[in-house]
Amino acid sequence: MTEMSLDQLDCPVPQVDDQRVLLGHGSGGRLTAELVRRLFLPAFENDVLAALEDSAVLNLNGLPTSQASRLAFTTDSFVVKPLFFPGGDIGRLAVFGTVNDLAVGGAEPLFLSAAFIIEEGLRMESLTRIVESMRVACQQAGVELVAGDTKVVDRGKGDGVFITTSGIGLVPKGRSLSVHNARPGDRVLVSGTLGDHGIAIMSVREGLEFETLLESDAAPLNGLVQAMLEACPTIRFLRDPTRGGLSSALNELAAGSQVGVKLEESAIPVRQEVRAACELLGLDPLYVANEGKLIAVVPGEVAESLLDAMRTHPLGRQAAIIGRIVDEHPGMVTLKSALGGQRVVSMLSAEQLPRIC
């Protein structure tokens, strides 16, 4: 094993014009994190927002204190391009994205809202397909869409349609999954192959063709999460690695828990087509978005039994233990390569794949 090169930490950050918003501010990586930390957190100072979880967990004072559950609340805008892609469309993504944010927060997703910002001239047939796809997705995830809004902007001031979904769920009493919970000795698991969604989108945009059709992995994770929590109630942290991929999610965990994360490259499941496309496009699968995968952190002693439970669920068949939590290099994620070298997996700074979700 070679020494980890610390100056990789000083990896070049693209020159940033501080005066304007860049595509990278929407990457889910370092620029997004900076924007949140510098601008949004100071403005809306409260503990719930500052926790930086994927969904807010709320105590409602108006409800009896004997209540069994707390409320989870989350929001996400979807601006994916193109609107339709192999394995899904913007509507399916908008439903599952919000369902998954609730699920990985430990909540049972219940209700969604959807707000549409439509560009004048969108084909009514496209909108109808998207809405139908959302209907099916809601059924699949077992949630009800109960509130909505429609705005139309002039031609050339939008791009087809943007959809913002918000979601409400219930977190059972005593359940606490958090980015602050990881402890040295814990194991890191993923539920399946990484990078499928991002590469499916890119392959359409770039006109790539593969022998097999590469599809987005867009899927509702609440069923898998429920099975996992039943099998292993001591799960510490769950996250769906969307924008910014595995790397962003684990860097947030490392920072939030002040621990190190050590990954084994050879253990990380990546489809052959995804690997090939990444090489072609100069991308790293650890940074590519997923829309139907999750990361779990659990105490080492239950990692194997959790893995077994995940593999019995259709969405977890290719689950794997990919690394562990260590007390070395707190706040940092490292990867032991197949060749034995070790490198830092830093957070994505700029935009790798704009408008991927």
Residue 271 sits at the vertex; the CA angle it makes with 265 and 273, to the nearest 5 degrees, is: 125
Distance in Å, CB of 125 to a second copy, minimum = 7
Asked if 119 interacts with a second copy (CB under 8 A), we say yes
Helix (H) or strand (E) holding 32: helix 30-35
- Which range of residues in 75-83, 206-214, 271-279, 336-344 is near a second copy by CB under 8 A? 75-83
Asked if 225 interacts with a second copy (CB under 8 A), we say no
Please say which residue, 26 or 316, places its beta carbon nearer to a second copy: 26
In the list 6, 9, 60, 280, the residue contacting a second copy (rule: CB under 8 A) is 60
The whole-angstrom separation of Cα 132 and Cα 128 is 6
- Which range of residues in 153-161, 254-262, 301-309, 317-325 is near a second copy by CB under 8 A? 153-161
CB 282, CB 208: distance < 8 Å: no
Please say which residue, 251 or 334, places its beta carbon nearer to a second copy: 251
Asked if 183 interacts with a second copy (CB under 8 A), we say no
Distance in Å, CB of 61 to a second copy, minimum = 8
- Which range of residues in 1-9, 139-147, 286-294, 330-338 is near a second copy by CB under 8 A? 139-147
CB 294, CB 193: distance < 8 Å: no
CB 273, CB 209: distance < 8 Å: no
CA 284 to centroid of chain Cα atoms? 16
In the list 7, 123, 211, 340, the residue contacting a second copy (rule: CB under 8 A) is 123
Asked if 166 interacts with a second copy (CB under 8 A), we say yes
Per CB under 8 A, which of residues 240..269 are in contact with a second copy? none
Asked if 34 interacts with a second copy (CB under 8 A), we say no
Asked if 113 interacts with a second copy (CB under 8 A), we say yes
User: How many CA atoms within 13 Å lie on the side-chain side of 34?
Assistant: 16
CA 70 to centroid of chain Cα atoms? 22
Q: How many residues does the chain have?
A: 357
Residue identified by tokens 């609440």 is 222
Question: Quick check: helix, strand or coil at residue 309?
Answer: helix
Please say which residue, 132 or 301, places its beta carbon nearer to a second copy: 132
